[in-house]
Amino acid sequence: MDAAAAAERENEMTVENTRDVAVLGLGEMGAAIAGALLAAGHRTTVWNRTPEKAEEAVAGGARRAATVPDAVAAGEVVFISVKGAAAVRKILEEAGGALAGRTVVNLTDGTSAEARETARLAAGSGAEYLHGQIMTIVPGIGHPEAVVFFGGEQAVYDRHRPLLDLLGGKGTLVAADPGVPVLYGMSVHGIMWGLLNGFLHAAALLTDEGVELKRFLDQAAPSLAALMSFLPSIADEVEHSRHAAEYGALRHHHPSVDDLLRESRDRGVDDRLPAHTLSLVARALADGHADDSYSRLVDAFRTP
Amino acid sequence: MDAAAAAERENEMTVENTRDVAVLGLGEMGAAIAGALLAAGHRTTVWNRTPEKAEEAVAGGARRAATVPDAVAAGEVVFISVKGAAAVRKILEEAGGALAGRTVVNLTDGTSAEARETARLAAGSGAEYLHGQIMTIVPGIGHPEAVVFFGGEQAVYDRHRPLLDLLGGKGTLVAADPGVPVLYGMSVHGIMWGLLNGFLHAAALLTDEGVELKRFLDQAAPSLAALMSFLPSIADEVEHSRHAAEYGALRHHHPSVDDLLRESRDRGVDDRLPAHTLSLVARALADGHADDSYSRLVDAFRTP
């Protein structure tokens, strides 16, 4: 094959893999998504309710659509990244019949019920639907380590996989139900906020004492690294409602939580987190669960 | 060197390395410590306020002391593992003059102020003092991966290192101040409770939906593994009071926390953790910190 034939063949492959896509919503995240699609050579049409926000994408080679139906009609795959489920609903209503035969990839945050309602609306207009829960910040879009949890039909996910992988290298279809990736995302976030709040509370205590936080993180690294390894056994105990613990039972946690509470009060540091944890542990002890693992506290989260 | 000479030399080495130690307090942890010392061949004297608890250690080769001064007099190094600082104080007061020239290794939980007060009492009786914060459950005592945070003079720690290493292979002297290992211990615990509460809250949501927790942990593993890696940068931001964030700022956290709160309420799951986090974020936004990193919330922990 000579050079000209090779160039021709490369051109054909590019043309073959090029898709017509639309991005609705050009906030920071939507703009990054449009940028990733453009960078991969896809014919990208963009729309934003305030049109000025489209300028960056247009400069990058995108076509600007004047209306939602125009944008939707231009894309086989329609990415939606706006603020809240109400804004998505409005877009789907404006799109109307243009949605038929398209695939909507909704990347808008919300609750699981909202994701399901959006999926129903899309299906009602004849569109296929995938929900994507993006787990990275804007500059992570397209990064090989960036995680996106998808929900939808396997066949739809597989068909659009090359496009979806442009959002992040660690995309996964976690369920057919579009509510599940939402639950995954908020579960990871809830664990993150728990961890960060615990750390910021500790940071308030340690810096009050003049301890350098970097030194603490270095010296406590083996203990901190072990914490994540507790989750599978806690999960197993919750899953099977088997909470009996030979060691590290709630009766052992109680005095330690009380120490943290007293230390916080001694130093004038916010005592609400240890006070809350102590109340959960004390209630479980009062209910006769002193010899149970910490996993027993799931009862308190289930029936507050 | 023939076999008899070798045996003699081994015996000499053993004798040379054998120390006189005492263990006061034979709860589950004290009993495990006495067991580790006995297993290493040290002449171990034990005492417990209710003498029956000494039986296991005596069966293992320990000598039982009838009184606190008798126990303390028998040990160059005196390990104390009881319930709370008041019980330690009582022991030190009963020991009185017998403490002179001994090294007290206090492994009793409490606050940093209590550890310092105990150190002062021991010093007042002419004893050297180390505080040890044990970060493992009972069966971990003596394990190569078990962490103990020590506080005290480097020279005292170094002199007794072979004994101290019997408690856990990952012992570290973290500061001269006996209050610091206490703060390290409660910091790790506070981070742990934050993480576990976040996970149990997530578990309540996920199992309400019928999602298998093991499947969630497997599929979300990359996202969860990344969480711990946030701590060094958060620590750095707190340390230098530099909270400006280009991405992932508090204004981005706010709607996500609100989603978690609404999802919890929709499902009848305890909403107190997300409600608390939302109140912290909302207050920071109201104070003009919308473009700051999550690390800005340390202000709320410092001045509740």
pLDDT > 90? residue A141: yes
In a domain, B197, yes or no: no
Strand order in the sheet with A20-24: A63-64, A43-47, A20-24, A77-80, A103-106, A128-134, A147-152, A170-175
Residues B167 and B216 both lie in one domain: no
> Quick one: average pLDDT of A61-77?
98
* The domain boundary residue, chosen from B155, B176, B197: B176
Phi and psi at residue A284, in whole multiples of 5°?
A: -65, -40
Residues A39 and A129 both lie in one domain: yes
> Quick one: average pLDDT of B225-240?
96
Instruction: Give the integer Cα–Cα distance in Å for A293 and A123.
Output: 45
In a domain, A71, yes or no: yes
**Do A138 and A113 form a contact (C-beta atoms < 8 A)?**
no
Query: Residue B233 belongs to a domain with what CATH number?
Result: 1.10.1040.10
Instruction: Give the integer Cα–Cα distance in Å for B77 and B132.
Output: 13
Range of the domain at A151: 3-176
Quick one: pLDDT at residue A249?
A: 97
In a domain, A109, yes or no: yes
Query: Residue B101 belongs to a domain with what CATH number?
Result: 3.40.50.720
pLDDT > 50? residue A226: yes
Q: Which of A83, A223, A255 minimises the CB distance to B109?
A: A255
> Quick one: average pLDDT of A246-272?
97
Quick one: pLDDT at residue A12?
A: 47
Q: Measured between alpha carbons, how far is residue B260 from residues A187, B33, B257, B283 in Å?
A: 8, 45, 5, 18
Phi and psi at residue A40, in whole multiples of 5°?
A: -85, 0
User: What is the ipTM metric for this complex?
Assistant: 0.94
At A3, is the pLDDT very low, low, confident or very high (cuts 50, 70, 90)?
A: low
B193 contacts in chain A (CB < 8 Å): 198, 253, 257, 273-274, 277
> Quick one: average pLDDT of B31-58?
97
Give me chain B's average pLDDT, please. Answer: 95
Residues B216 and B160 both lie in one domain: no
Residues A216 and A137 both lie in one domain: no
Q: Which residue of B has its CA nearest to A274?
A: B190
> Quick one: average pLDDT of A258-262?
98
> Whole-structure pTM over 0.90, yes or no?
yes
Strand order in the sheet with B103-106: B63-64, B43-47, B20-24, B77-80, B103-106, B128-134, B147-152, B170-175
How many A/B residue pairs have CB atoms within 8 Å? 315
Residues B107 and B249 both lie in one domain: no
Quick one: pLDDT at residue B13?
A: 46
A183 contacts in chain B (CB < 8 Å): 205-206, 209, 211, 263
At A279, is the pLDDT very low, low, confident or very high (cuts 50, 70, 90)?
A: very high
Q: Which of A135, A207, A235 minimises the CB distance to B214?
A: A235
Residues A133 and A274 both lie in one domain: no
**Do A133 and A148 form a contact (C-beta atoms < 8 A)?**
yes
Residues A226 and A156 both lie in one domain: no
**Do B303 and B284 form a contact (C-beta atoms < 8 A)?**
no
Q: Which of A180, A211, A266 minimises the CB distance to B113?
A: A266
Q: What is the pLDDT of residues A164-194, one digit of tens each?
A: 999 999 999 999 999 999 999 999 999 999 9
A202 contacts in chain B (CB < 8 Å): 186-188, 190-191
Quick one: pLDDT at residue A246?
A: 87
At B16, is the pLDDT very low, low, confident or very high (cuts 50, 70, 90)?
A: low
In a domain, A264, yes or no: yes
Q: What is the pLDDT of residues A285-294, one digit of tens each?
A: 999 999 999 9
Q: What is the 3-state secondary structure (H, E, C) of chain A?
A: CCHHHHHHHHHHHHHHHCCEEEEECCCHHHHHHHHHHHHCCCEEEEECCCHHHHHHHHHCCCEECCCHHHHHHCCCEEEECCCCHHHHHHHHHHHHHHHCCCEEEECCCCCHHHHHHHHHHHHHCCCEEEEEEECCCHHHCCCCCCEEEEEECHHHHHHCHHHHCCCCCEEEEEECCCHHHHHHHHHHHHHHHHHHHHHHHHHHHHHHCCCCHHHHHHHCHHHHHHHHHHHHHHHHHHHHCCCECCCCCHHHHHHHHHHHHHHHHHHCCCCHHHHHHHHHHHHHHHCCCCCECHHHHHHHHHCC
pLDDT > 70? residue B50: yes
At A17, is the pLDDT very low, low, confident or very high (cuts 50, 70, 90)?
A: confident
The secondary element (H helix, E strand) that includes residue B193 is helix B179-208
pLDDT > 70? residue B180: yes
Give me chain A's average pLDDT, please. Answer: 95
Quick one: pLDDT at residue B17?
A: 86
Measure the CA dihedral B5/B6/B12/B18, to 10°: -160
Residues A254 and A168 both lie in one domain: no
> Quick one: average pLDDT of A204-225?
97
Please tell me the least confidently modeled range out of A12-26, A64-78, B83-97, B270-284: A12-26
* The domain boundary residue, chosen from B149, B176, B203: B176
Instruction: Give the integer Cα–Cα distance in Å for B20 and B42.
Output: 6
B84 contacts in chain A (CB < 8 Å): 255
Residues A40 and A165 both lie in one domain: yes
Quick one: pLDDT at residue A1?
A: 44
3-class state of residue B287 by DSSP: coil
* The domain boundary residue, chosen from A151, A176, A201: A176
